[in-house]
Amino acid sequence: MCSTTPELTLSAPYRQAQRLLAIWLERDRIQARRQAFALRTAVAALNATERHSLSRWLAWLCVAGASQGESILGRIRQLDDMLGKSTFDALSRLPVSVPFLVVRQHWKSA
Tens digits of residue pLDDT in 73-94 = 888 998 889 999 999 999 888 8
pLDDT on residue 7 = 59
Q: pTM of the predicted model, to two decimals?
A: 0.73
pLDDT at 51 over 90: yes
pLDDT on residue 2 = 61
Helical axes 81-92 vs 48-67, angle rounded to 10°: 70
Name the pLDDT band for 58 (thresholds 50, 70, 90): very high
Percent residues over pLDDT 70 in the chain: 80
Domain boundaries, the chain: 12-104
**Mean of the per-residue pLDDT values of the chain:** 81
pLDDT at 99 over 60: no
Closest CA to 62 of 86, 91, 84: 91
What integer is the mean pLDDT of 42-57? 92
Other CB atoms within 10 Å distance of the CB of residue 39: 20
